[in-house]
Amino acid sequence: MNIFFDSRKLSDDARRQELYQGSILVHSPCPSALKLCQLARDLIEEAFGPVDPLKVQETLPVEKCVEILAALKPKFIHHPKSKECIQGMLAELNCDLAKTYFDVPRMRTAFPAGYLKSGIAYAFHPHRDTWYSAPFCQINWWMPIYQLNSENCMAIHPHYWSRPVRNGSSEYNYDRWNQDSRKNAAQHIKTDTRVQPKPEEPMELDPQIRLLCDVGGVYQFSAAQMHSTVPNTSGLTRYSIDFRTVHLDDVWGRIGAPNIDSACTGTTMRDYLRGTDLSHVPDEAVALYDPGALVAAG
């Protein structure tokens, strides 16, 4: 597995091919990424008021924190500047905006000491996004909002790039999840009973890669990479942003990472927005990943 730092000499086509082979790309902060992180910080600090957002577990009842997050996270997702910043990031990293489609950026939280790790602050077990109906041409982008450390970041488990894991993805359908489970996230405070694909066999989480980048720095990895939320032992809440992209040429060509253990149904392909005008992936392309798409659209 290769890790590239500031690979500006690689074309976007070459970067995607590296990602589909299991490489990881790390980028230094660019202007639009810094703007996106500042927007997120402004919203976070406004929402929590006088409470230090990095230490909410010390003063706020968990139910109050859930109430705040239930308003904060959608506000960030749907803020008009969020999409503008993503478009700026893609342009600054030399992506072709006419062919690059992205989904809305999501704010994630990882609290220390088991304060809140379900529902709206779900602590992700080891998983591949392809277990959740992501296409194999999907590329994940992940960035910290506040400074990271090795005890509150995210881990990638390279041992599993070519090693299948028995999992529950065959029970997962993305359309059903959107209808029944996503909207109920804030109701799951102490435990999370929503059906999600998980490993169904013991896993060896070491070796693992914990990358630390500056605020506004971003790393990219394939949706087929095994990754997880690191148990937060830092004493500080971790806030991060992630979003995903697909390139239309790869969508049409069915180009992407190999599928070694995903069996889910449905597709996230309808979520992506074109970098130029925010239009959706063409129905005919979606139908390659979901045969019922054209019927449903009609």
Average pLDDT over residues 230-236: 92
- The pTM score is 0.90
Cβ 155 vs Cβ 230: under 8 Å: yes
pLDDT at 177: 82
Contact 253, 262 (CB under 8 A): no
**Per-residue model confidence as pLDDT tens digits over 28-61:** 999 999 999 999 999 999 999 999 999 999 999 9
Residue range 3-35, pLDDT digits in tens:
999 987 899 999 999 999 999 999 999 999 999
Give residue-wise pLDDT tens across range 127-149.
999 999 999 999 999 999 999 99
Q: Taking a C-beta distance cutoff of 8 angstroms, is the pair 130, 259 a contact? A: yes
Number of domains in the chain: 1
- Which residues span the domain enclosing 142? 3-297
Q: How far apart are CA 265 and CA 290, in angstroms?
A: 8
Q: What does the DSSP assignment read for 168-218?
A: SGGG-BHHHHHHHTGGGGGG-SS---S----BSS-----S-B-----TT-E
Give yes or no for a contact between 216 and 128, defined as CB atoms under 8 angstroms apart. no
Mean pLDDT score, 102-123: 78
Task: Give the CATH number, domain containing residue 189.
Answer: 2.60.120
> Given this model, what pLDDT does residue 188 score?
36
